Amino acid sequence: MTTLIIKRGLALLSVVALTGCASLSFLGGGKKADDTSIYTLRGTAMERPVARAASNGRSVIAVPKPELPPGLETERIALYFQQGRRLDYYADAKWSARLDDLLQDLVIQKVQQKLPGKVVGTPDLAATAQYRLSLKFTDVQPVYEDAPDKPPRLDVGMTVTVVSLPRETVRTQFSLRRSVPASANTLTTITSELGNLLGSLTDDALQRAAPYLG
């Protein structure tokens, strides 16, 4: 059975091993349920602004949960086998929350960092929001062409839609996609580099969407 080795210290994603065990079964069981290793998208902790911030004259942007392909709206960390066109999951490892929740937080943090003049938050701002920034991910997983004995390809693809409110007018819509080879076939490397790819592509998406966000 192929084994992935967990190491500590991630760039964009952080791992918290709940035990001192360093090995992780690639697929299938092997550890107790409470020995699961947990990964989370890590960003700068920033307070989400409340709707009343709109009175300051700044544009308010609502960011709903992103749409994900079937099988990815879960805490489990997915991988894809291209030859068999099969989705599977890493054993004994999971995200710290559902992936759509983590991605929503990542996008909000990126907007706060890249567009500091805007007010951004979840759709509970809808009553005062002038814009909705929606993301639909078409890919967000490591892809193995055949057997999982070599580093996978990391695929991230998204369609971005900016809608003006309350008239629901689409101001712009575009798609971005990027693939890079993972530098090693370890779960730490794969999740870290997938997080870097997500961050980079989200930055590009915001740069392109910015002129339509007020």
pTM of the model: 0.80
| Cα dihedral 101, 43, 205, 56 sign | positive
Which of the listed CATH numbers 3.30.360.10, 3.90.1150.10, 3.20.20.80, 3.40.50.10610 matches domain 47-89+97-212? 3.40.50.10610
Residue appearing with tokens 């002038």: 130
Q: What is the pLDDT of residues 143-194, one digit of tens each?
A: 999 888 899 999 999 999 999 999 999 999 999 999 999 999 998 899 899 9
Q: What are the backbone dihedrals phi and psi of residue 194, each rounded to the nearest 5 degrees, phi first?
A: -65, -40
What is the structure's pLDDT at 118?
A: 92
pLDDT score of 15: 32
Residue with tokens 């798609």: 175
Where are the domains positioned within the chain? 47-89+97-212
Q: Look at residue 35 and give its three-state secondary structure.
A: helix
**Model pLDDT for residues 18-57, shown as the tens digit of each residue:** 222 223 345 544 445 457 888 876 544 444 444 444 446 6
| Strand partners for 16 | 38
The pLDDT tens digits of the residues spanning 121-146 come to 999 866 789 999 999 999 999 999 98
Cα gap 178→192, rounded to integer Å: 16
What is the per-residue pLDDT for 12?
30
Q: Which residues pair with 135 in a beta bridge?
A: 160
